[in-house]
Structure 1
């Protein structure tokens, strides 16, 4: 069995926009399935067609879904070796594209590989406008004062330290940690904020931190990938932490 989760983004033409949910994939023998969870589309309501995308922009329609007040949830079941009697396997899929009706060249896409261009394809040409007034899950920018090396705000300021790093520096970590480089939660956070952090506690233990906000959806995604502890980048009370402040999701190294 193979399972993984990828982020779903809103695109305007070919311009990548806000995080709009996620897709959870389960490949299991002859039968496979994927869950589409859509959030953060403002007041948009309407139908959408869900496509599995292959090389050269070739795609197979997996089904439809209904978005209501910016949200949708649907599960699609497919034959692993012969998706919709197409002769193509589910393992060959590059990602998912969701075309929304009356969305004025806006669509949703999630790429499972580096071939983003094939998944995005050509933008839609329809009418109307998609409202997107809610705050996105992971767009707040790092707080001023989140410098190259700062003290943790949740512990004794004279002890724990946080050091900013580039994603390329992960290769300098012990080999047992290299798998983290392919963690999609990590690459999502890095793409948004252009840095990661390493925290060293008072006992010399190290933790890898991914920048983000403490929204419920992001908390769930962080937990799936092992980043279970959140620390705000600036002092915050418990109520603030629960309402979406900027900070870091940590996992031990």
Structure 2
């Protein structure tokens, strides 16, 4: 998958297998082995709660689904974004090139779907979604044992890569007092992590210096004491684990996909914040507050550009 590939695909609501209204769109960008997906849903039958997001491959008249994450829905609307490896979808042996579309499954059978390929027909219902699982075999298996073992190892290796990436920083600063319940915490999804900081304070300084040496550094015009660096969405995983949930925050994702960056800033000693670029408007202020970014720093008084920010370690 060399080069860059971009496309937009429209999403439709479905009821009892029947295609309904246009419910939004998804943007897909593949750059090398990195696949960026941005989704915006509006007016879907998925009214409230968490919407499960899947990529799928049509197989045997069913949607073989690969879980991508969850999207919070409010009054039928929601936004979602993620970055994945294009050659290994959901820890499987399948690549993005083999995917046929995306499906969004909510509560009580509510569903929305987009398909960007033509071919085998299928019925769009939640009961027609089959989750992908790595193939397994018995100890005294058949001649397909080696192939099954290969598929299983691919999935396990991908899972191990994700877990190891999350553990690297934590391992360097492991606190013996935090070992109780550590295994249970590791099994939780990032959005479900206990709200506790397992990183000592001095790691903030190390992380801050590393960001300053890696990314563009600047100070805000009206206050030279406020230092900032531009970071990317993936860099949220460099922060203490209790802040990883911000990677699923709809307001933050909306700002990131509009401006292609976020801000990690330092207000004062041991006081950091995450900033989302945007324009100060009354409606935007209300949305920012709802999603946990109640404060705004203006960098351009004429155009009202600045950063909505959420303080850390507060």
Q: TM-score range with shorter-chain normalisation?
A: 0.3 to 0.5
- What TM-score, normalized to structure 1? 0.45
- What TM-score, normalized to structure 2? 0.36
Q: Which has the higher helix share?
A: 2
Higher relative contact order (CA 8 A, sep 6+): 1
Bigger-Rg structure (1/2)? 2
